[in-house]
Structure 1
Amino acid sequence: MSDESRLLFDIPGPRATRRTRIATGVALLALTCLLALVVRQFAIRGQLDADQWSMYTQWPILRYLLEGVGQTLLVTAVAATLTFPLGAAVALLRLSRSRMLRAVARGYTELFRAVPLLLLLYVFLFGLPRAGLTFPVFWQLVIPIVLSNAAVVCELLRAGVLAQDRGQGEAAQSLGMTYWQSMRWVILPQAVLRLVPALVSQLVRLLKDSTLGYTVSFLELLHRTRVLGEYYHTVLSSYLVAAACYVLISAALSRTADRLEQRQRQ
């Protein structure tokens, strides 16, 4: 156990270790029994029959789902392309020496961190069209995701910059750099380097937010799964297949974050 961990709690003794192992074993046994009960209920109700799963061997069904995966990845990629630059720009405004710019940036972050994403989607779906401002379905989904997640990225970057040693900026300014030059060439690159795993993990949130496409009738993966399950009366198997797709994509993104973190440590 590292020294940092010892500062958080004491090292458990033999009795506490034994109790922890017993509690872990009991919890795993209870979870296994619960999972077996759920599988048994699915089998009793016919949810595990072959006809509930044979449809996924047909190419038209697979193509329909793969198109949904493609739409989900497209929303995630476009949202990420817009979210990270916008979050960085707002973070720089929050770090500005101008009180007015800091107030504007703080108002943005506080607003879009507090407002639920679903409410933003309803604003773009119902509110703005009544004011005469209508967006295509794709952008009705992407723009609220960008506005909401950019506020989170802003706080991540701001925290990363503030965590840097003040001597970095002072050394840069002593070489003749201005405040913004030292921020651009010295402080911000180091902060981004340390935050790469967290920023990559933010992609997982963008992926999850894309599942709200049903609110604007955008046919991403989850919406297509819902349509497919209701049409063929295979709701459970359809959702399980969709969940497996999301797990695989999220695992790939998480694996990327782990590799970047390991490379950073090296």
Structure 2
Amino acid sequence: MSAVLYDVPGPRAKARNRIINALVVLVLLGAVAWVIFRLNQTGQFESRRWAQFQYTAIQNELLDGLLNTLRAAGLAAVLAMLFGAVFAAARISDHAVLRAPATLVVELFRAIPLLILMFFFYYGSLQYQLGLSPFWAVVLGLTLYNGSVLAEIFRAGIAAVPKGQREAAYATGLRKNQVVRLILLPQAIRAMLPAIVSQLVVLLKDTALGFIITYNELLYVAKQMGGRLEFGFPYIPTYIVVAVIYIGLCSLLSVIARWLEGRSRRSGKGGPSPEAAEKAMAPEATL
């Protein structure tokens, strides 16, 4: 008996896979134990290095850094989604005057490292006195880079919808923008959702690059907290706390994504909603 892409493992293969999995788990546990041992040997778990987190002022500093991180990530996510939607629409346009420049912009900003974009906006603003704050340098850099990636995700998602859906929609007399908006996009959004959420997680984590241009986000606050002599320079404990916060935020995004995906599956099997189909087939839609 075989599957589509590979042979179903037999009893010996299953036993061998279990042994390999157990060995991998043991190696990982050993690596984690060794890291914890080394941290303990270097005094990273001493109470003095963790004492600062019990003070309200320190907690407020972390909260301010977290809010600044969420503020930059939230605004950049909205702008990146709008950027991606506009340029994805331009890339699938029938008019070369729209398609060619959009392709150039998307490929350009996908190829430029995000940190260079932040440097460009921050130091360019300082040199030419444009008045951009570190916050806007971070937001604009995140928007251009992640928006270009999202534009390609949107374009690929729409292109992945079966060709018969387009042909059937065009046969009813719908224009291209109506086909995309009413027929293709409702189906494509379900397939695109995991990739979109994955890119938003990347965007959230990339806000940490803002500490290089002195944006007062979570990592910048952690760097300042870790350099305090009275607590024995608690860099490692502080970065552990910040890492846990980032893991929590990313896990929350993943949970929301799974909820949205489950909700979309319950609402339909991948086709357009009944309301969209009825609207698309209405006589005035073809005018």
Q: TM-score, normalised by structure 2?
A: 0.86
Report whether the alignment pairs 1:82 with 2:79: yes
> Secondary structure of the equivalent of 1:219?
coil
CA distance in 2, matches of 1:8, 1:223: 48
2:97 maps to what in 1?
Answer: 100
Following superposition, the deviation at residue 132 of structure 1 comes to 4.9
Which of 29, 34, 44 matches 1:32?
29
2:264 maps to what in 1?
Answer: 264
Which stretch shifts more, 234-243 or 6-15?
Answer: 6-15
Contact 1:201 1:257 in 2 (8 A): no
Q: What letter matches 1:65 in structure 2?
A: L
Contact 1:197 1:260 in 2 (8 A): no
Following superposition, the deviation at residue 10 of structure 1 comes to 2.2
Which stretch shifts more, 31-40 or 225-234?
Answer: 31-40
Question: What is the aligned-residue identity percentage?
Answer: 37
CA distance in 2, matches of 1:88, 1:98: 17
Following superposition, the deviation at residue 263 of structure 1 comes to 2.4
Which of 119, 122, 145 matches 2:116?
119
Q: TM-score, normalised by structure 1?
A: 0.92
Q: What letter matches 2:208 in structure 1?
A: T
CA distance in 2, matches of 1:22, 1:95: 50
2:241 maps to what in 1?
Answer: 241
Question: Structure 2: where are the runs of 5+ without partners?
Answer: 267-287
> Secondary structure of the equivalent of 2:227?
helix
Following superposition, the deviation at residue 45 of structure 1 comes to 1.5
Contact 2:194 2:257 in 1 (8 A): yes
Following superposition, the deviation at residue 65 of structure 1 comes to 0.2
CA distance in 2, matches of 1:257, 1:10: 33
1:196 maps to what in 2?
Answer: 193
Contact 1:173 1:182 in 2 (8 A): yes
Q: What letter matches 2:100 in structure 1?
A: A
Q: Please list the CA deviations of residues 69-127 of structure 1 after superposition, one character each: whole Å capped at 9, or x if unmatched.
A: 11111111100110101101000000000112111111111111111111111211224
State the Cα RMSD in Å.
1.8
> Secondary structure of the equivalent of 1:250?
helix
> Secondary structure of the equivalent of 2:4?
helix
Q: Please list the CA deviations of residues 196-251 of structure 1 after superposition, one character each: whole Å capped at 9, or x if unmatched.
A: 23322322111011011112200100110111101241000000000000000000
Following superposition, the deviation at residue 166 of structure 1 comes to 2.4
Instruction: Give runs of ≥4 in structure 1 deviating > 4 Å.
Output: none
Report whether the alignment pairs 1:254 with 2:254: yes
- The number of residues matched between the two structures is 263
2:66 maps to what in 1?
Answer: 69
Contact 2:121 2:137 in 1 (8 A): yes
CA distance in 1, matches of 2:249, 2:191: 23
Report whether the alignment pairs 1:180 with 2:181: no
Contact 1:229 1:236 in 2 (8 A): yes
CA distance in 2, matches of 1:255, 1:68: 23
CA distance in 1, matches of 2:82, 2:67: 23
1:161 maps to what in 2?
Answer: 158
Question: Structure 1: where are the runs of 5+ without partners?
Answer: none
Contact 1:42 1:48 in 2 (8 A): yes
Q: Please list the CA deviations of residues 14-34 of structure 1 after superposition, one character each: whole Å capped at 9, or x if unmatched.
A: 222222211221121122222
CA distance in 2, matches of 1:192, 1:205: 19
